[in-house]
A and B are shown apart, each in its own frame.
Chain A
Amino acid sequence: MTFPEWMRFINREIRKDLDIYMRKQLLSMLETNRRLDKEEAAILLGVTAEEIANEMAAMEKEKIICGYHTLIDWDKTKEEKVTALIEVKVTPQRGLGFDKIAERIYNFPEVNAIYLMSGGFDFTVIIEKKTMREVAAFVSDKLAPLEAIQSTATHFVLKKYKDHGTIMDDVRDERILVTP
């Protein structure tokens, strides 16, 4: 390998490390701030705003970034909302693995999240409704009757203390104002 070729190789390696670093930092910023200002992120990470925009566009395309959501503490609003966590046991049928059953469940718009689990049951389904009655209706009318479903156990969330890594209550700065 001639010298310039070798230089190019090194640069590419360093370039790759920088990209990995930038992606990680950018994602952890976005995870807690969907309104991230690209100019500001560029200053914080010591790169250009254009690089941030390109990286974000690339990650959106790769479906690494799947959306920009807002974390809302509904308890502090007048909105009535109940969240239920449903443990679901299923019997996978021939040609209809877990993925297909999951699809049948997640297509209901009221399903907020669904995870395939290890252990005593198969799916965790999280749904949000206005009242407990509505949740009950969804479970008995929509979810339980699905052919593959063996059983369900519904748990209601009473209070959210922390969600998506964020503590719902304010944390105060307890420090003395001026110290050496």
Chain B
Amino acid sequence: MDSSRFLSEKVKEIKPSGIRKFFDIVSEMKDAISLGVGEPDFETPWHIREEGIFSLEKGKTFYTSNSGLMELREEIAKYLARKIHVSYDHKSEILVTVGGSEGIDAVLRAVLNPGDEVLIPEPCYVSYVPCAKLADGVPVSIELKEEDNFKLTRELLLEKITPKSKVLILPFPNNPTGGIMTKEDLEAIADVIIDNDLLVLSDEIYSELTYQGEHVSIASLPGMKDRTIVINGFSKAYAMTGWRLGYTAGPKEILSQVTKIHQFAIMCAPTTSQYAAISALRNGDPDVEMMRESYNQRRRYLMHAFKRMGLDCFEPFGAFYMFPSIKRFGMTSEEFATRFLEEEKVAVVPGTAFGDCGEGFLRISYAYSLEQLKVALERLERFIKKLDSENNTKQDS
């Protein structure tokens, strides 16, 4: 007998990730190459791995306190003070989570009442909408525009605010667009946020990967710290995706409730990862700098290659993604990505996996070696030429 009668309506209504669908096609292809990953190509720096190994050798195999190792929280507080110039009390304002993702889920569950609206700028990472729904919130998407370099503008924000608006998700530097928000961009929306008494969930997981000036957190603007929850983690900055470690920082009244959810759902983040992360924060700056420089070089290389092959793309200054427009080929993102995969065996992610307004775009990751990128770009150029000649024949006949 079909067991689906046991399922909750809420869960059934949630659409499976658009990426998942694509992954199933790719994984059946033997010799496909990919520009589709959302994680660094670097291995975790050895000193960090070594610290994890050492903790295991010393028998650090037990739970830590719910909020995470005190030593790690101290280092996180120092890091945030140094990087985003906001001081957090490591005892009450920082929670170590299982990746940044857990923080997003737990915070939304802690703050939403049924019917509360969550403003979500799109295109964006795939988990905000489902997490908001699971927490009984109502996701309200704000469609960002290419002509604004995929920034959240004051006008776009004001358009979507209602009396029910409670949380604004601020995912910058952005996956999938690579867009960033500078200090001026943030200042332009800060008073709207304050005037409408919104809470900001600022997902800064790509904060170390900005290529135009330093990353600025909205929490550092006047009057914003008490209404901002910062989500960050070790996955992207230190190439530690598999370690599943992140953190949440924010006002203690909110954090204590988020900790309650974390405590009952998770207990604590993985102990080995926490020990390793201490070394990441203490000694990892040169590694981060090396990786950032390497991504930046590839970013320039891709910009140049796209221009040469006539693929329109705004210049992204964050994360490790390009978000070129394929509108001129007269096909949907999914059609383009599927044909590209079938005909040239290269996987890219259709923009629609990150929200409906991703239609007409592709996410291309440059978390690959230059050699891998060159092979893939050669195939992309060939594919584009083919599409152009097909379109020309169509027009001629």
By a beta-carbon cutoff of 8 Å, the part of chain A in contact with chain B is 25, 40, 43-46, 171, 173, 175-180
Residue B301 at the A interface, CB < 8 A? Answer: yes
Given A43-B304, A180-B126, A175-B19 contact (CB < 8 Å): no
A173, A175, A178, most chain B CB atoms within 10 A: A178
**For window 279-331 of chain B, which residues contact chain A by CB distance below 8 Å?**
293, 297-298, 300-301, 304
Indicate if the CB atoms of A173 and B41 lie closer than 8 Å. Answer: yes
Residue B349 at the A interface, CB < 8 A? Answer: yes
**For window 14-47 of chain B, which residues contact chain A by CB distance below 8 Å?**
17, 19, 22-23, 26-27, 32, 34, 36-39, 41, 43
Indicate if the CB atoms of A43 and B23 lie closer than 8 Å. Answer: no
Residue B340 at the A interface, CB < 8 A? Answer: no
Residue B201 at the A interface, CB < 8 A? Answer: no
What are the residues of chain B within 8 A of A179 when measuring CB–CB? 19, 23, 36-39
Indicate if the CB atoms of A46 and B23 lie closer than 8 Å. Answer: no
B22, B23, B298, most chain A CB atoms within 10 A: B23
Interface residues of A, dominant DSSP: loop
Instruction: Identify B300's interface contact among A43, A176, A177, A178, CB under 8 A.
Output: A43
Instruction: Identify A177's interface contact among B17, B26, B293, CB under 8 A.
Output: B26
Residue B94 at the A interface, CB < 8 A? Answer: no
Indicate if the CB atoms of A180 and B300 lie closer than 8 Å. Answer: no
Instruction: Identify A44's interface contact among B19, B126, B297, B349, CB under 8 A.
Output: B297
Within the complex, the shortest CB–CB distance from B363 to chain A, in Å, comes to: 10
What are the residues of chain A within 8 A of B43 when measuring CB–CB? 171
Leading 7 A-B pairs by shortest Cβ distance: A178-B36, A44-B297, A177-B34, A178-B23, A43-B304, A179-B38, A180-B126
Residue B383 at the A interface, CB < 8 A? Answer: no
Q: In the complex, A177→B175 CA distance in Å?
A: 17
**For window 93-142 of chain B, which residues contact chain A by CB distance below 8 Å?**
125-127
Indicate if the CB atoms of B37 and A43 lie closer than 8 Å. Answer: no
B24 closest partner in A (C-beta) = A178
Indicate if the CB atoms of A176 and B37 lie closer than 8 Å. Answer: yes
Indicate if the CB atoms of B23 and A176 lie closer than 8 Å. Answer: yes
Q: In the complex, A180→B372 CA distance in Å?
A: 20
What are the residues of chain B within 8 A of A173 when measuring CB–CB? 41, 372
Indicate if the CB atoms of B38 and A44 lie closer than 8 Å. Answer: no
B374 closest partner in A (C-beta) = A40
